[in-house]
Chain A
Amino acid sequence: MQPRRPPLPALLLSLWLLPRLALAAAAAAPADPEYNDVPGQPPAVGLPRGILQLAARAALHFFNYRAGSPSALRVLAAVQEGRAWVDPQKGCKVDLVFSTEQYNLEQEGEEHLGKCSARVFFKNEKPRPAINVTCTQLFDKVTRQEKDYLLYKQMKQLKTPLDIVSIPDSHGHIDPSLRPLWDLAFLGSSYVMWEKTTQFLHYYLVQLSSVKQLKTDDDSIDFDFTVLLHEFSTQEIIPCRIHLVWYPGKPLKVNYHCQELQSPEEGSGIVEGSAMAPNEFSNF
């Protein structure tokens, strides 16, 4: 996946914004009686550093999950405008405008940027931020449906049981024939990553580490697998077992269980996480 250069004005703006977070927050904001501005305070007290980017990624995880389309996944290109508030009692609110690009750059498609605006609310270090996000259309609807259906057919043609070791491999390579598997895993992981994100913790998908089961005999794709997530601030690698059911055009059904960090006393590392009880088909 080749990186790209976004248009220069957005670049300058985001470069300006990111290291100067405190200034952005101090810019004249409508006085909201419920939230305090954080003018001139060091970021550690109020706003976690990188909060704008973190919020944008969380919004995109949520957006990708709700769209339910493995061939229409978006990733963050650049934050263009951002504003964040912290209320020590309530939480952290972030308003954003950001650009996106399509995840699968090998795929044919116009190379243009989408645009999203979002409001993300972190309730005091709790995961599962509340998100309102709207995005301009990046993919033509018909094209997207066709691509989803093509992906669906490719999945059904995969010979099970699959002899998968890791995707991508150690050298970052993804076999093109296995790309649909990866995209679907990314879609399922988006749900997990959205749910686990807090204002201090954010995640990236590193690898599809194993496929437990892939059932494609019914209409839908029933996919049971484990991924490795990378949590950035702690640098931890978190294995998550994910089970999803997908059919093109239908809402994605996901449940998952992630392994928690080992403490020095527990040798085994199989600890029931506090907020990480398996979620049953968490659609609303």
Chain B
Amino acid sequence: MRGTQGGGRGPGLSPVDRRTLLFCNFILAVAWGRVNFTGDQVLRVLAKNEKQLSLLRDLERQKPQKVDFWRGPARPSLPVDMRVPFSELPSVKAYLKSHGLAYSVMIKDIQVLLDEERDAMAKSRRLERSTNSFSYSSYHTLDEIYSWIDSFVAEHSNLVSKINIGKSFENRSILVLKFSTGGPNRTAIWIDTGIHSREWITHATGIWISQKIVNAYGKDHVLKKILNTMDIFIEIVTNPDGFAFTHSMNRLWRKNKSSQPGIVCIGVDLNRNWKTGFGGNGSTKNPCSETYRGPAPESEPEVAAIVDFITSHGNFKAMISIHSYSQMVMYPYGHSLEPVPNHEELFDLANDAVKALYKVHGIQYIFGSISTTLYSASGITVDWAYDSGIKYAFSFELRDTGQYGFLLPASQIVPTAEETWMALRTIMKHTLNHPY
């Protein structure tokens, strides 16, 4: 049933033809919720000739009112739709039968349909409300984020599109936002947040940065230059199953939710499941451990999806994987102390990124290679990225340094995102200016 929105014109406004008046009354009645349509049906009648049409018109003129036309009798061969109140159904159907008028039931119970539609509208209003007034300074659920993604893409479709790169272990969609001003297979920058589900500040930062990109594109000449040459891809919820779990059952869950037969513990550390350095000291084979590497490299669908996407794209030049906490900007390797060939360039770039970050709110980040700055970690995202030829591979650890840790207060979302953006922008600018 359509057209229940919008105020009708009230009764007493004439001259309007009766049909319109009835229709408007109907709308008003619905809007005011005063009438119950339980059991009422809409019948569709096909009149074969003028005689049958006039029989239908007769039905309408009877008192008490037996039918109310939604699509009135006009010409033979055009269907006539009429609402029949529940109490009148037997007599109306008998009338139609006795005059050889064939009919079908279009709507079996109007009230059911009305209820369903009301619910659907309320739901979409709720979702709409949460995107029109989507709070960038709050933490959100998976549904809220996915709903925001759809609205965000719709609002900025000239610049942003959504790509589904695969399904998680529990069959959730894995979504990536693409920021592009056109051009086939441009060089690209990858940013992921939320690979460890308890690091909520990272998803929130990814969302804020997405909004920042669309807002700043016209005003920031550096960003404009970047997007005129390169595409930016952002995967906000890199571990959707884990993220859902942090809301439903365990706020401090880190891994994904994959399980293996016969093994009690579930979950693989998605940042130990990558091919480069897989199985080294900085991961474990204990499925109950937080740094469990998984049964094999890329065994996890969440990792495989990214590997497939980036490999088949073939033109990524920078990859930044965002975590919390510790306040660090780091480059490969994590699995080895051996410096990468361009470690001096990466050192300088990390230094510049950290300085740009510091300028925003005075927050100190330290920097260096992962293995020398943080700890030994094997089978990690950025090591794979680097060995796949992506020279500018960085791993961030956002705020704080342990006071709140993973439970960073929402009031710190925007300041954290603002400073992180400046660090990312520094890296993206360097990538743009150093094509390879």
Contacts and interface: CB of A to CB of B under 8 A. Distances in A.
Interface in B403-425: 403-410, 412
A171 B288 contact: no
B407 A172 contact: yes
Given A1-B403, A172-B408, A230-B405, A237 B289 contact: no
A19 B290 CA distance: 26
A230 B409 contact: no
Interface string A231-242: 011111100000
Interface stretch (B29-37, B95-103, B360-368): B360-368
Contacts, number: 111
A262 B139 contact: no
Given A172-B410, A264-B288, A204 B337 contact: no
B68 interface: no
A264 B403 contact: no
A28 to B, nearest CB: 23
Interface string A116-154: 000000000000000000000000000000000000000
Most B Cβ at <10 Å: residue of A14, A57, A172, A267? A172
Contacts of B366: 15, 18-19
Interface in B363-386: 363-364, 366-368, 371-376
A262 B264 CA distance: 10
B287 A264 contact: yes
Interface in A226-278: 228, 230, 232-237, 261-264, 267, 269
Contacts of A236: 289-290
B289 A261 contact: yes
A138 B331 CA distance: 38
Place the interface of chain B in its size category: 35 or more
B404 A172 contact: yes
Contact of B288 (A228, A235, A237, A263): A263
B139 A15 contact: no
Contacts of B264: 262, 264, 267
24 contacts: A1-B403, A14-B364, A15-B364, A18-B373, A21-B372, A43-B337, A75-B402, A103-B403, A168-B404, A169-B407, A170-B246, A171-B407, A171-B410, A172-B407, A172-B412, A173-B410, A206-B252, A206-B407, A228-B252, A234-B290, A236-B289, A237-B252, A262-B265, A262-B288
The 10 closest A-B pairs by CB, nearest first: A5-B362, A172-B409, A262-B288, A19-B368, A235-B290, A204-B402, A172-B407, A267-B264, A170-B251, A168-B407
Interface of B: 138-139, 200, 246-247, 251-252, 254, 263-265, 269, 286-291, 337, 361-364, 366-368, 371-376, 399-410, 412
